[in-house]
Amino acid sequence: MKWICIAHFLLLIRLIAADHRRIPTTLDGPFLPVTRRFDPSLRRGSDDLPLDHPRLRKNVSSNFPEQIALAISTPSSMWVSWVTGDAQIGQNVTALDPSSIASEVWYGKESEKYTSVRRGFSTVYSQLYPFEGLLNYTSGIVHHVKIDGLEPETRYYYRCGDSSISALSKEHVFKTLPVPSKSSYPHRIAIVGDLGLTSNSTTTVDHMVKNDPSLILMLGDLTYANQYRTTGGKGASCFSCAFPDAPIRETYQPRWDGWGRFMEPLTSRVPMMVIEGNHEIEPQVSGITFKSYLTRFAVPSAESGSNSSFYYSFNAGGVHFLMLGAYVDYNATGAQYAWLKEDLSKVDRSVTPWLVAAWHPPWYNSYASHYQEFECMRQEMEHLLYEHRVDVVFSGHVHAYERMNRVYNYTLDPCGPVYITVGDGGNIEKVDVDHADDPGKCPSAGDNIPEIGGVCRLNYSSGPAEGKFCWNTQPEWSAFRESSFGHGTLEVTNSTHALWTWHRNQDMYKDDIHGDQIYIVRQPRACSPTAKVASVSILS
């Protein structure tokens, strides 16, 4: 009898341990709101790396490629981008001639055996300011080449540059993604926003490399070059505070070149899909904006029927990705809305069961920073995403982490998307720590005005925020939030299950430790576009 009791006790211990290790699913929700309080030590490391840092400085001669980056074009083609030549900064700058050097990519399935070559186009851009004392900039030559005829899930070796002057890069290698299919998915998708170039950014990138992604979603606010005067020097966490007399929101463009070098070890072998953030606006002469972003990155806008690099879509295995622009017209009468409606109507969920959307500023956000900043965009577009049963939405902008319960129109809904904010890449502006529901932290109606777009403030009609702009407690739609730097990974298992993991930087050297982890579960029968579902409130 004694041994039977001991055996039962040991079995109970094992069952408790197994239950503790069980990863929750969205079917277990909606979850009661949880806040993990901020560790003040994590604000260290938010100073920018200098441009002479080994990971940022230029290590090739003028004609050789640097800042090499991949991006998906179609399931059978890939963009390869790079920069040659020396950028210039000063009062008087002269643009380089893009035709002075060729744009070639040599590639094949075996190392040093290149069976194909493709040629593309090149360009330069300038950042010009009509103000005394501000320095102008003109870029190196930016090259974009599309290589095609690629086979799925195949390793390719390539070199880029100009073979006529023996100025090809060293050999790089990448693996193509699976074809669109309900039974094939990317190995692991890394998602990160608001990265910057700090020591924290370095940890984030090293952590991403360790997690071995096959695709990267970069959610805007890449370099924070606009935290500097044109003369360089030291950047600031708050530009307007540090430089109140600046005649325009300046930018120190060499930070872009440093960022391209910083990212090259990863982006030369893993495709990175970008979307613009507010720090990419970068106004200059004649009202020109987004010049660096638009020139440096190749995105599949034309391939997806979009007439703008600010929004596009692409497929990776059984996932259809929507990359939306928050800093261009998103109104129902505009081109982006019309394109989105058309794109969604063409999605075949029997081929790409998963529908994932991404843009820079979150619609659902309980932090004081950027609180309700993009209500106008939500009110214009949310119903489209809900009607077409978008599964997950990723955003940045807020420098912290937050995962929402499934929600639609601020109401818990089992068929609404799972909204996730992961704008905690590690930038110079530091991590956000204040919540809008904290005493005295609710922003005023005049705060959080978007750089582009209107203001559509909302007072809640029910719940603890009834008749108010801010909630009194963590909102019911906010499942989990924590102020720490990090990034996330999405591993799609099959047509109904995907594992979401948030990796905090402080856990990089700890095995099997995560900041947040959950299986996102699709319910295609219960949540088909025509299904009628009942909303659920955990506060009712």
Q: Is the pLDDT of residue 371 over 50?
A: yes
Distances (CA, A) of 306 to 216, 336, 340, 383: 21, 8, 9, 21
**What pLDDT shows up at residue 11?**
39
**What pLDDT shows up at residue 531?**
54
DSSP letter, residue 102? -
* 538 confidence band (pLDDT: 50, 70, 90): very low
Amino acid 495 reads S
**What pLDDT shows up at residue 42?**
67
% of the chain exceeding 90 in pLDDT: 89
* 446 confidence band (pLDDT: 50, 70, 90): confident
Q: List CB contacts of 244: < 8 A, sequence separation 6 or more.
A: none
Q: What would the mean pLDDT of 474-484 be, rounded to a whole number? A: 97
Distances (CA, A) of 374 to 165, 322, 330: 50, 18, 11
Q: List CB contacts of 52: < 8 A, sequence separation 6 or more.
A: none
Lookup: tokens for 79: 């963009």
Q: Which fold has domain 179-220+310-534?
A: Purple Acid Phosphatase; chain A, domain 2 (3.60.21)
Q: What would the mean pLDDT of 95-108 be, rounded to a whole number? A: 98
Q: What would the mean pLDDT of 79-100 be, rounded to a whole number? A: 97
Q: What is the pTM of this model?
A: 0.94
Q: What would the mean pLDDT of 500-525 be, rounded to a whole number? A: 93
Helix crossing, 254-267 with 199-211: angle to 10°? 20
Annotated catalytic residue 53: no
Q: What would the mean pLDDT of 337-346 be, rounded to a whole number? A: 98
Is the distance from CB of 188 to CB of 179 less than 8 angstroms? Answer: no
Which residues partner with 367 through β-bridges?
435
**What pLDDT shows up at residue 249?**
97
Lookup: tokens for 470: 């801010």
**What pLDDT shows up at residue 351?**
98
Is the distance from CB of 204 to CB of 425 less than 8 angstroms? Answer: yes
Q: What would the mean pLDDT of 80-84 be, rounded to a whole number? A: 98
**What pLDDT shows up at residue 127?**
98
Which residues partner with 73 through β-bridges?
none
Report the alpha-carbon distance of residue 488 to residue 190 in Å, rounded. 6
Is the distance from CB of 222 to CB of 279 less than 8 angstroms? Answer: yes
- pLDDT tens per residue across span 303-338: 999 999 999 999 999 999 999 999 999 999 999 999
* 530 confidence band (pLDDT: 50, 70, 90): low
Stretch among 191-195, 275-279, 494-498, 512-516 having the lowest mean pLDDT: 512-516
Is the distance from CB of 71 to CB of 273 less than 8 angstroms? Answer: yes
Catalytic residue among 143, 370, 388, 503: 370
Distances (CA, A) of 190 to 112, 270, 271, 394, 522: 29, 10, 11, 11, 20
**What pLDDT shows up at residue 8?**
44
Stretch among 52-56, 121-125, 309-313, 461-465 having the lowest mean pLDDT: 461-465
Q: What would the mean pLDDT of 13-38 be, rounded to a whole number? A: 77
Which residues partner with 175 through β-bridges?
155
Is the peptide bond prior to 30 cis by the omega test (within 30 degrees of 0)? yes
Ramachandran angles phi, psi of 197, nearest 5°: -140, 45
DSSP string, 410-472: TEE-TTS-EEEEE--S--TT-----BTTSTT-PPPTTS---SSS------BSSGGGBTSSS-S
% of the chain exceeding 70 in pLDDT: 94
Q: What would the mean pLDDT of 33-52 be, rounded to a whole number? A: 85
**What pLDDT shows up at residue 228?**
98
How many residues comprise the chain?
Answer: 540
Is the distance from CB of 418 to CB of 357 less than 8 angstroms? Answer: no
Instruction: For 363-381, give the secondary structure using H, E and C.
Output: CCCCECCCCCCCHHHHHHH
Domain range list for the chain? 179-220+310-534
Ramachandran angles phi, psi of 16, nearest 5°: -65, -45
Mean pLDDT of the chain: 93
**What pLDDT shows up at residue 504?**
95
* 510 confidence band (pLDDT: 50, 70, 90): confident
Which residues partner with 157 through β-bridges?
108, 173
Helix crossing, 335-346 with 375-387: angle to 10°? 20
* 2 confidence band (pLDDT: 50, 70, 90): very low
- pLDDT tens per residue across span 374-413: 999 999 999 999 999 999 999 999 999 999 999 999 999 9
**E strand or H helix that includes residue 142:** strand 141-147
Classify residue 245 by burial, with Cβ atoms within 10 Å: 0-12, 13-18, 19+: exposed
**What pLDDT shows up at residue 3?**
46
Q: What would the mean pLDDT of 43-54 be, rounded to a whole number? A: 89
Sign, Cα dihedral of 77, 496, 423, 425: negative
* 39 confidence band (pLDDT: 50, 70, 90): confident
Is the distance from CB of 221 to CB of 397 less than 8 angstroms? Answer: yes
